[in-house]
């Protein structure tokens, strides 16, 4: 799940407010407007409020979230924004709302007056249920449940695909697509999608504006199209990626900055692509592969990246949060938890779960529930233990007496989570266990915890442990700390409780380092 606090504007929200967010969209010329929907289906806005795009009834900016009451319990199923900005929103009962900038009638309400509050759009949509909306820079499109596409707003370049270049004050159906089953529309300045082929506006001459086919993509049964400021990306049903349009910043991912008038395949050497992302507010492109790898290219924080670059992100949304200019969201983003768990997430969830465990460890009278298979996979010690000739292999409960409960639980938790979270003092006992079980990675993690947690009070205790467990690097670290804080550490109880032989060796080593010169 993406952390919405990656977007700077959401840093204005409290932790409690962030926890309520179910869906969100950051937009605007400086990524300074936000809309978010809570788990209770309440809609809030905040930000600069350019062109009254927050829908609060005025043009005042706000750093405190304001609630808009027009939803009345309805669920938002689609939301998009234009460059004005203007906002379109569709609800689960098929209603269409619009507000914000309206100089080109992009709100579809029959006039050019700015929409200061969300208005219900009904012209030419009577008895129609809208299921998806998409905004171009200053025009709008909507898809109904029966597969009809409507467009309105600015049409100077024929981007509405209605056969002329006149602006449309209200929704106008694209009759050229009649008879085709349209599956999706998404942010299309010049492009819309059908279930069979891609259609794009083509200028034949000054007087002819038509909807036409891209022959290179006609062999694919279905396509997902996303549009940037001046470029488009198409993802086929086979996971192939095509790009065309402007390429000033390398946003096509072709390795150069040459524009392409027709679709060209990119990332052909990569594994199957499952998601593509672009946004008409930016020149940034992103894609996600079947294995979860996320690539980005185009204008990324002012740099021109002309080839898809592998990132450390887990979603395309994070690319736009951290590298797009402005750092907008390219879609209405959902914060709802995915029921699917990765292997590591599933293991974390099942640690110490009595419902699925097949073995218990009893430590200081407390049970720790585990799974034999996991222990055998993760630890050589248990792989040897759970053999037929070992008595432990036949036991349902194994008694552990040589280690305290917090230490042994932390060890088992490490096998499930590959990480440890213990105090420096408990890390000493865990270091002992890691040494006994020959768990070198755990041994290194314990040493790191001890180094981070060393203080004047525990320095000699930690030094003694490092010597006892033959941790040379840790021993040197603790020794240097003790020498550098010699006056303070020699006044602690741990110093006077130190083993005589160890204390003698410390004094000799410290004197060699010049600790007693004064």
- Written as six digits, the tokens of 83 are 């460059």
Mean pLDDT of 232-248: 90
Could you tell me which of 239, 248, 135 has the C-alpha nearest to residue 192?
135
Mean pLDDT of 494-505: 81
Could you tell me which of 143, 87, 75, 147 has the C-alpha nearest to residue 117?
87
User: CB burial class (10 A; 0-12, 13-18, 19+) of residue 130?
Assistant: buried
Tokens 């380092």: give the residue. Answer: 513
Could you tell me which of 367, 396, 371, 366 has the C-alpha nearest to residue 382?
371
Tokens 């499930």: give the residue. Answer: 416
**If pLDDT is split at 50, 70 and 90, which confidence band does 178 have?**
low
pLDDT value at residue 461: 86
- Domain segments of the chain: what residues? 4-203+219-323, 339-421
Is the preceding peptide bond at 85 cis, omega within 30 degrees of 0?
A: yes
Distance, CA of 37 to CA of 35 (rounded, Å): 7
Q: What is the pLDDT of residues 401-420, one digit of tens each?
A: 989 999 999 999 999 998 88
| CATH fold of the domain at 4-203+219-323 | Methylamine Dehydrogenase; Chain H (2.130.10)
Q: Average pLDDT over the chain, rounded to whole?
A: 86
Mean pLDDT of 493-509: 83
Domain 4-203+219-323 shares a fold with domain 339-421: no
DSSP 190-240: SEEE-SS-EEEEEEEETTEEEEEE-GGGTT-S-EEEEE-SSEEEEEETTS-
pLDDT value at residue 394: 86
pLDDT value at residue 261: 86
Q: What is the pLDDT of residues 36-67, one digit of tens each?
A: 999 999 999 999 999 999 999 999 999 999 99
pLDDT value at residue 232: 86
Distance, CA of 369 to CA of 357 (rounded, Å): 6
Q: What is the pLDDT of residues 190-211, one digit of tens each?
A: 333 333 233 333 353 333 333 3
pLDDT value at residue 391: 84
Mean pLDDT of 119-130: 95
pLDDT value at residue 337: 55
Could you tell me which of 330, 296, 294 has the C-alpha nearest to residue 313?
294
pLDDT value at residue 185: 57
pTM: 0.61
pLDDT reading at 147 higher than 90: no
- Phi–psi pair at 467, nearest 5 degrees: -70, -40
pLDDT reading at 500 higher than 70: yes
245-259, 301-315, 316-330, 419-433: segment of lowest average pLDDT: 419-433
Cβ neighbour number for residue 20 with a 10 Å cutoff: 17
- Written as six digits, the tokens of 398 are 């194994």
- Written as six digits, the tokens of 255 are 């390795």
Mean pLDDT of 474-500: 86
Distance, CA of 159 to CA of 211 (rounded, Å): 9
pLDDT reading at 225 higher than 90: no
Angle made by CA atoms 238, 151, 165, in degrees to the nearest 5: 110
Just give the CATH number of 339-421: 3.30.710.10
CB 91 within 8 A of CB 131: no
Distance, CA of 475 to CA of 464 (rounded, Å): 8
Residue 355's contacts (CB-CB under 8 Å, 6 or more residues apart) are none
Residue 429's contacts (CB-CB under 8 Å, 6 or more residues apart) are 403, 404, 406, 407
Q: Is 143 helix (H, G, I), strand (E, B) or coil?
A: strand
Q: Which residues pair with 277 in a beta bridge?
A: 286
- Written as six digits, the tokens of 436 are 């006994």
CA distances from 190 to 177, 225, 251 (A): 15, 11, 17
C-alpha Rg value of the chain to the nearest Å:
31
The strand pair at 198-205 and 284-289 is best described as unpaired
Distance, CA of 89 to CA of 94 (rounded, Å): 10
Distance, CA of 392 to CA of 376 (rounded, Å): 13
pLDDT value at residue 186: 55
- Phi–psi pair at 360, nearest 5 degrees: -125, 140
pLDDT value at residue 219: 54
pLDDT value at residue 201: 35
């Amino acid at each position: 799940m993406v952390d919405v606090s990656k977007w700077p504007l959401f840093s204005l929200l409290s932790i409690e407010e962030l926890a309520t967010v179910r869906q969100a969209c950051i937009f605007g010329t400086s990524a300074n407007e936000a809309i978010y929907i809570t788990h209770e289906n309440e809609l809030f806005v905040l930000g600069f409020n350019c062109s009254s795009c927050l829908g609060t009834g005025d043009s005042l900016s706000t750093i405190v979230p304001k609630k808009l009451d027009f939803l009345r319990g309805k669920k938002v199923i689609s939301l998009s924004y234009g460059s004005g900005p203007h906002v379109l929103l569709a609800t689960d009962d098929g209603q269409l709302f619009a507000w914000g900038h309206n100089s080109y009638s992009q709100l579809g309400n029959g006039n050019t007056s700015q929409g200061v509050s969300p208005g219900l759009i009904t012209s030419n949509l009577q008895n129609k249920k809208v299921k998806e909306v998409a905004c171009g820079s200053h025009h709008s499109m909507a898809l109904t449940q029966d597969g009809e596409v409507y467009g309105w707003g600015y049409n100077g370049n024929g981007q509405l695909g209605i056969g002329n270049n006149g602006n449309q004050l209200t929704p106008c159906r694209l009759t050229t697509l009649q008879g085709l089953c349209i599956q999706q529309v998404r942010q299309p300045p010049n492009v819309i999608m059908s279930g069979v082929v891609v259609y794009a506006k083509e200028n034949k001459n000054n007087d002819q504006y038509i909807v036409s086919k891209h022959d290179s993509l006609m062999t694919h049964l279905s396509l997902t199209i996303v549009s940037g400021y001046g470029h488009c990306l198409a993802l086929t049903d086979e996971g192939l990626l095509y790009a065309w349009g402007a390429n000033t910043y390398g946003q096509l991912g072709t390795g150069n900055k040459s524009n392409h008038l027709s679709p060209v395949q990119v990332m052909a050497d990569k594994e199957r692509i499952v998601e593509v992302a672009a946004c008409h507010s930016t020149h940034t492109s992103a894609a996600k592969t079947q294995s979860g790898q996320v690539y980005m290219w185009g204008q990324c924080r002012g740099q021109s990246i002309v080839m898809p670059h592998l990132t450390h992100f887990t979603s395309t949304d994070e690319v736009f949060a951290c590298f797009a200019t402005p750092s907008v969201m390219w879609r209405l983003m959902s914060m709802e938890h995915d029921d699917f768990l990765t292997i590591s997430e599933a293991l974390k969830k099942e640690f110490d779960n009595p419902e699925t465990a097949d073995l218990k460890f009893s430590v200081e009278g407390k049970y720790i529930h585990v799974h034999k298979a996991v222990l055998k996979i993760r630890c050589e010690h248990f792989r040897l233990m759970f053999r037929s000739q070992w008595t432990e292999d036949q036991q349902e409960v194994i008694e552990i007496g040589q280690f305290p409960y917090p230490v042994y639980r932390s060890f088992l938790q490490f096998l499930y989570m590959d990480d440890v979270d213990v105090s420096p003092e408990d890390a000493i006992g865990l270091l002992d266990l890691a040494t006994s079980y020959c768990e070198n990675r755990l041994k290194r993690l314990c040493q790191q915890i001890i180094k981070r947690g060393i203080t004047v009070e525990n320095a000699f205790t930690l030094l003694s442990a490092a010597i006892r467990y033959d941790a040379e690097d840790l021993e040197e670290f603790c020794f240097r700390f003790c020498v550098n804080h010699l006056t303070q550490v020699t006044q602690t109880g741990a110093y006077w409780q130190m083993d005589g032989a160890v204390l003698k060796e410390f004094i000799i080593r410290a004197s060699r380092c010049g600790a007693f010169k004064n």
